[in-house]
Amino acid sequence: MPVLEADGALPRGDAKRRAVEAMFDRVAPDYERVNRVISLGLDRRWRARTVAALGLAPAGRVLDLACGTGDLARDLEREGHTVVGVDLSAGMLRVAHTSASLVRGDGAALPFVSDAFDGVVCGFALRNFVDLPDVFAEVARVLRPEGRFAAIDAAVPTSRVLRAGNTVWFRGAVPLLGRLLSRDAEAYRYLPRSTEYLPEPAALVAALGDAGFVEATRTTMTGGSVQLLTGTRT
């Protein structure tokens, strides 16, 4: 199933959900290796910032939302946390390298009881959900009161110069590298463009507040090309 529409448009609604699930099933075997290359190895630093942003004491119970191959889960385990990973893609879960418990599920209808976790993390997946407010509401539901949420994702720099560099790399180099290194070149045409799904920064923070989070903040890294969204459940 192609991830982009026949006219090159990004899919929406149920079509997006089906296309994204199928895409991640296809790219799963190469995903970690290609990510290391296209992030120039900076993904390790970004994940470390995400884990630190939770601010949890050791031995917390943390949900890795859209866990993929388990990068964030492994980082959390090294910090002494008990981790559960959930992902829509069965292909990703099959190749995940983590001792965390893994569950197949949708971020908009999480298969967990309320107040089950001390923290929730999400790595580079916000733009892949169909309905982000529904996902934020589910994250709030499964977090205990005062539980923490930290999500990292791509962003577009505000600086004209940095935005131009970001475009050259993510719209030019990344699709080329995807064609060379991955078995699904189209996925790496989709992934840089998928930032178009994300709300503007103020709207993204407001959506987190609307879901019941306080201290909602957004910070950027790497010249504004990566954003970290955090909040505390009321």
**Distance between CA atoms of 104 and 110, rounded to whole angstroms?**
9
- Residues 71-93 have a mean pLDDT of 97
- Residues 145-169 have a mean pLDDT of 92
- Residues 204-220 have a mean pLDDT of 97
Which amino acid appears at position 158 of this protein? T
List the domains of the chain with CATH numbers: 13-158+187-233 (3.40.50.150)
Which among 154, 124, 121 has a CA at the least distance from the CA of 224?
154
Return the pLDDT at 15. 94
The token pair that represents 66 in the structure block: 């859209």
Put residue 66 in one of left, alpha, beta given phi > 0 → left and psi -120 to 50 → alpha.
left
Residue 8 pLDDT grade (very low, low, confident, very high; cuts 50, 70, 90): confident
Which among 76, 137, 83 has a CA at the least distance from the CA of 106?
137
The token pair that represents 220 in the structure block: 């950027």
Return the pLDDT at 192. 84
Q: Decide if pLDDT at 160 tops 80.
A: yes
Return the pLDDT at 26. 93
Contact 5, 21 (CB under 8 A): no
Residue 1 pLDDT grade (very low, low, confident, very high; cuts 50, 70, 90): low
Q: What is the largest CA-CA distance in the chain?
A: 49
- Residues 7-21 have a mean pLDDT of 93
